Amino acid sequence: MKHENTKLPLSFLSGEADLIVNIVDAVNLERNLYLTTHLLEMNVPMLLIINMKDVAETRDISIDVKALSAKLGIPVEYISAISKNALQLVITAVDKASSVKVQSKESIKITYENEVETIISELIAKLNNQAAEMQVSPRWLSIKLLEGSSSLLEKLQLENSEEIEIYRDRIEKEVGDEADILIADARYGFIHGLMVSSVKKGAPRKTITDKIDKFVLNRFLGIPIFLVAMYLIFWVTINLGGAFIDFFDITFGSVFVDGSAFLLDKLGSPAWINAIISTGIGGGLQTLATFVPIMFMLFFMLALLEDSGYMARAAFVMDRFMRYIGLPGKAFIPMLVGFGCTVPAITATRTLANKRDRYLTIFMTPFMSCGARLPVYALFAAAPKMEFSISISSAAEGEVEEEGEYDLWASLGEAVSTIPDNLAGAFDPAVLRDPLGTNIGDVSDSSAVAEDMEIENSIFGEMRSRFAGGPAAAFAYLLFILLYVPCLVAVAAMYKEIGLIFTVFQMVYSTVLAWVVATLFYQVTVGHSVLFIGEALLLLAILIAGINYYGKKTARKQQYA
Q: What is the pLDDT of residues 92-115, one digit of tens each?
A: 999 988 877 655 445 467 888 888
Would you say 80 and 52 are in contact if contact means Cβ atoms under 8 Å apart? yes
Of 199, 198, 187, the closest CA to residue 70 belongs to 198
Q: What is the pLDDT of residue 379?
A: 63
| Ordered per-residue pLDDT tens for the chain, 561 residues | 444 444 544 444 555 677 889 999 998 899 889 888 888 888 888 899 999 999 898 888 999 999 999 888 899 999 999 998 999 999 999 998 887 765 544 546 788 888 889 999 988 888 888 888 877 888 888 888 888 776 677 666 655 567 788 888 888 888 888 888 889 899 999 999 999 999 998 776 777 888 888 888 888 888 899 888 888 887 888 788 888 988 999 999 999 988 888 888 888 888 889 888 988 898 888 888 887 888 788 778 878 887 888 888 887 888 878 888 888 888 888 887 787 778 888 988 888 878 888 998 999 888 887 767 766 666 666 554 443 333 333 333 444 444 556 777 888 888 888 888 888 877 877 767 766 565 555 556 666 666 665 566 666 666 666 666 677 888 888 888 888 888 888 899 999 999 999 999 999 989 999 999 999 998 888 888 888 899 889 988 998 888 888 777 776 665 544
Rounded Cα–Cα distance for residues 503 and 511 (Å): 12
What lies within 8 Å, CB to CB, of 343 at 6+ separation is 291, 294, 295, 487, 489, 490, 493
How high is the pLDDT of residue 296?
85
Q: What is the pLDDT of residue 560?
A: 47
Indicate the helix (H) or strand (E) that contains 78.
strand 76-78
The pLDDT score that the predictor gives to residue 488 is: 85
Q: What is the pLDDT of residue 446?
A: 61
